[in-house]
């Protein structure tokens, strides 16, 4: 069986009983610090990092942690969402102006879409699609939608109020391996196919900083990293070390764990 990440290897060791108990703590080694006041960050699958500083300036760092480029808009408002699921193009969303901006690797503007002009009024979750369009959830009419680079509507779901028993607005959308995953911390996971048909619901609640890796649903729950593989009814956790528990945001990128706190960005390698 091919396993890409060291964290996944660690998980399987736990499942097979060859590691310590479920009270084991994720072992991290600090490899780099980027000091400063930052409000948000993301990373792509090549290890590049994108940071938003206190001046609402976006700064990109290479996987060697060298500063490469910067970008700042004086008219669109504060950056509210970053998505680097396509490593060649960074998606930046400004909630105040309801505008989506696409940047290249040097943080030059490739495209921008004023969503209000295409009748999309309120968005809290958006991501790049597998075919380089965009998935988003329009909270105005409670629909999951796909649009192209000009804002044209390509497809949309049924109104979620007709589809689900309770109200649902995703905090995160992830396009992964032929499926679309939505997460809301008070309602759990929804899984859709690319035709926007609802396929699965998983009531894992209270997670933040969620991601998908090798078929596992993963996230941070209070002071733990949690991992679920619903097909096999597997649910595991690892305790986080003390220095991670006060972080405002965490991202685990294979064998790298990145954590943002009031003093800056800390980059760790995961030790087995």
DSSP track, the chain = -----HHHHHHHHHHHT-S--TT-B--EEEEEEEES-EEEEEE-TTS-EEEEETTS-EEEE-TT--EEEEE--SSS----EEEEEETTEEEEEETTTTEEEEE-TT--EEEEEEGGGGT---EEEEEE-TTSSEEEEETTTTEEEEE-TT--EEEE---HHHH-SS----SEEEEETTEEEEEETTTEEEEE-TT--EEEEE---S-EEEEEETTEEEEEETTEEEEEEGGGTEEEEEEPPGGGTT-SEEEEETTEEEEEETTEEEEEEEP-
**pLDDT in the model for residue 129:** 96
Mean pLDDT, range 55-78, rounded to an integer = 95
What residues are paired with 28 via a beta bridge?
A: 270
CA-CA-CA-CA torsion for 59, 260, 173, 6, nearest 10 degrees?
110
Mean pLDDT, range 253-272, rounded to an integer = 92
Q: What percent of the chain has pLDDT over 90?
A: 79
- The closest of 234, 238, 236, 240 to 266, measured between CA atoms, is 240
Residue 53 has pLDDT above 80, yes or no: yes
Residue 2 has pLDDT above 50, yes or no: no
pLDDT band at residue 271 under the 50/70/90 scheme: confident
Lowest model confidence (mean pLDDT) among 14-28, 95-109, 154-168, 196-210: 14-28
Tokens of residue 96, six digits: 């105040």
**pLDDT in the model for residue 99:** 97
Residue 149 has pLDDT above 80, yes or no: yes
**pLDDT in the model for residue 8:** 54
Residue 15 has pLDDT above 90, yes or no: no
Residue 20 has pLDDT above 70, yes or no: no
Residue 10 has pLDDT above 70, yes or no: no
Q: What is the mean pLDDT of the chain?
A: 90
The sign of the CA dihedral 238, 243, 244, 246 is: positive
Residue 118 has pLDDT above 50, yes or no: yes
Residue 13 has pLDDT above 60, yes or no: no
Contact criterion met (CB below 8 Å) for 227 and 13: no
Compute CA distances 143 → 96, 154, 161, whole Å. 20, 13, 9
**pLDDT in the model for residue 22:** 53
**pLDDT in the model for residue 246:** 86
Tokens of residue 254, six digits: 């294979």
- The closest of 111, 112, 115 to 95, measured between CA atoms, is 115
Mean pLDDT, range 124-146, rounded to an integer = 96
Contact criterion met (CB below 8 Å) for 252 and 7: yes
Residue 18 has pLDDT above 60, yes or no: no
**pLDDT in the model for residue 127:** 97
pLDDT band at residue 7 under the 50/70/90 scheme: low
Domain range list for the chain: 1-35+206-272
Tokens of residue 25, six digits: 């703590």
Contact criterion met (CB below 8 Å) for 230 and 199: no
């Amino acid at each position: 069986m091919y396993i890409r990440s060291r964290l996944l290897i660690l998980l399987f060791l736990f499942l097979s009983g060859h590691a310590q108990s479920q009270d084991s703590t994720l072992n991290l080694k600090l490899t780099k610090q980027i000091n400063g006041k930052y409000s948000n960050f993301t990373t792509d699958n090549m290890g590049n990092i994108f940071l938003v500083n206190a001046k609402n300036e976006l700064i990109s760092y290479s996987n060697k942690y060298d500063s490469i480029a910067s970008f700042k808009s004086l008219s669109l408002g504060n950056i509210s969402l970053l998505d680097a699921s396509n490593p060649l193009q960074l998606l930046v969303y400004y909630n105040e102006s309801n505008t989506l901006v696409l940047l290249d690797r040097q943080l030059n503007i490739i495209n921008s879409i004023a969503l209000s002009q295409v009748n999309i009024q309120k968005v809290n979750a958006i991501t790049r699609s597998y075919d380089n369009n965009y998935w988003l959830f329009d909270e105005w009419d409670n629909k999951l939608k796909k649009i192209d680079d000009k804002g044209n509507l390509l497809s949309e779901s049924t109104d979620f109020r007709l589809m689900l028993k309770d109200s649902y607005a995703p905090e995160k959308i992830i396009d992964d391996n032929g499926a679309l995953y939505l997460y809301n911390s008070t309602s759990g996971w929804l899984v859709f196919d690319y035709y926007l048909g609802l396929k699965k619901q998983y009531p894992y609640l209270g997670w933040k900083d969620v991601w998908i890796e090798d078929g596992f649903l993963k996230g941070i729950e209070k002071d733990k990293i949690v991992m679920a593989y619903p097909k096999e009814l597997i649910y595991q956790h690892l305790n986080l070390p003390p220095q991670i528990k006060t972080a405002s945001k965490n991202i685990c990128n294979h064998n790298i764990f990145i954590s943002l706190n009031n003093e800056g960005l800390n980059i760790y390698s995961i030790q087995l």
